């Protein structure tokens, strides 16, 4: 029997509200431009023909409450408050009508972004990885089971930096609904338990600097908090 050359990375996990068991993370899908007002502030239009995605590696997960260093390679580090869907059952070519059956629960998330690198990649028609899929870029609060969360729509989604509100919208503003996203993704991937979907951010994105405290909330979910520390010494 072969042995591993070195210890594999630890599995990233997310707390489940009120429970001891942890939710192990597989993939992190992120939806682009899923609120019309945010697409507008980014100087683009929402594509209503189909959603589009980028991914983050599971190791990018950071629990709510953490203090993380200002990341390398950027001078325009942004917050994006997001409603996160946690998959809990396999889904493959799931119809919209039954797509929610695959959902384990929901959480508050932050899609932290090196905006300067993302926009440079966008302008050069290159992939967004440097701007989006970097270490400690996927912050998440404890997951609430779907059965304990009301029908998606009226919940308010907000984000504040040092107490000043920057993002304020409702889940009913989502261009692509959760069932549409799960159904659509399941035509391109075999969705499995552990897959997370960050469903996009409302208008009001902006920069943070060392010393800032980011707080976010969605009605019915544990709130999220992130503190930005100084950049690491090179
Ligand atoms: Mn985002």
CA angle 127, 192, 20 (to 5 degrees): 110
Distance from Cα 2 to the centre of ligand 1, integer Å:
40
Separation of alpha carbons 225 and 62, rounded Å: 11
pLDDT at 194: 98
**How many residues are present in the chain?**
234
Q: What is the value of pTM for the model shown? A: 0.97
What is the number of structural domains in the chain? 1
Query: Quick check: is 107 in a domain?
Result: yes
- Distance of CA 5 from the midpoint of ligand 1 (Å): 36
Q: How far apart are CA 202 and CA 175, in angstroms?
A: 10
- Comparing CA positions, the residue from 30, 111, 101 lying closest to residue 78 is 111
pLDDT score of 223:
98
pLDDT value at residue 58: 98
Ligand 1 midpoint to CA 199 (Å): 7
Q: Which helix (H) or strand (E) holds 82?
A: strand 81-87
Q: What is the pLDDT of residue 46?
A: 83
**2 domain-assigned:** no
Residue with token string 């544990």? 222
Confirm whether 8 is domain-assigned.
no
| Centroid of ligand 1 to alpha carbon of 172 (angstroms) | 17
Q: What is the DSSP letter of 95?
A: -
| 167 CA from centroid of ligand 1 (Å) | 13
Centre of ligand 1 to C-alpha 227, Å, is: 18
Angle at 139 between CA 136 and CA 143, to 5 degrees: 140
Residue 1 in any domain: the answer is no
Ligand 1 center from residue 10 Cα (angstroms) = 25
CATH number at residue 92: 3.90.850.10
Q: What is the pLDDT of residue 110?
A: 98
- φ, ψ at 25 (rounded to 5°): -95, 135
Longest alpha-carbon distance in the chain: 57
pLDDT at res. 234: 85
Residue 119 parent element (H or E): helix 115-123
**What range does the domain containing 21 cover?**
13-229
**String of b and e for 71-104 (b: at least 16 CB within 10 Å)?**
beebeebbbbbbbbbbbbeebeebeeeebbebbb
- CA 198 to ligand 1 centroid distance, Å: 7
Tell me which residue has tokens 């709130």: 223
**99 within domain boundaries:** yes
**Residue 49 counted as domain residue:** yes
Which mean pLDDT values do the consecutive 10-residue runs of the chain (234 residues) have? 94 98 98 92 86 97 98 98 98 98 98 98 97 98 98 98 98 97 98 98 98 98 98 93
Determine, yes or no, domain membership for 179: yes
User: Is position 108 within any domain?
Assistant: yes
């Amino acid at each position: 029997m072969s042995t591993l050359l070195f210890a594999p990375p630890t599995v990233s996990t997310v707390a489940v509200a009120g429970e001891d068991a942890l939710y192990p993370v597989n993939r992190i899908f992120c939806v682009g431009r899923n609120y019309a007002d945010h697409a507008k502030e980014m100087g683009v239009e929402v594509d209503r023909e189909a959603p589009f995605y980028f991914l983050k590696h599971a190791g990018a997960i950071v629990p709510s409450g953490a203090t993380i260093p200002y990341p390398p390679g950027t001078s325009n580090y942004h917050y994006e408050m997001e409603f996160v869907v946690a998959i809990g059952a396999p889904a493959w070519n799931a119809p919209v009508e039954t797509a929610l059956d695959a959902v384990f629960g929901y959480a508050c998330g932050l899609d932290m972004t090196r905006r300067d690198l993302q926009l440079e990649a966008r302008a050069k028609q290159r992939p967004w990885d440097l701007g989006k899929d970097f270490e400690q870029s996927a912050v998440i609060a404890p997951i609430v089971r779907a059965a304990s969360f009301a029908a998606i729509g009226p919940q308010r989604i907000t984000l504040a930096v040092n107490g000043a509100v920057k993002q304020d919208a409702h889940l009913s503003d989502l261009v692509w609904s959760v069932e549409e996203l799960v159904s659509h993704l399941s035509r391109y991937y075999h969705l499995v338990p552990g897959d997370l979907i960050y469903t996009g951010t409302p208008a009001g994105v902006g920069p943070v600097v060392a010393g800032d405290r980011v707080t976010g909330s969605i009605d019915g979910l544990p709130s999220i908090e992130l503190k930005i520390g100084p950049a690491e010494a090179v």
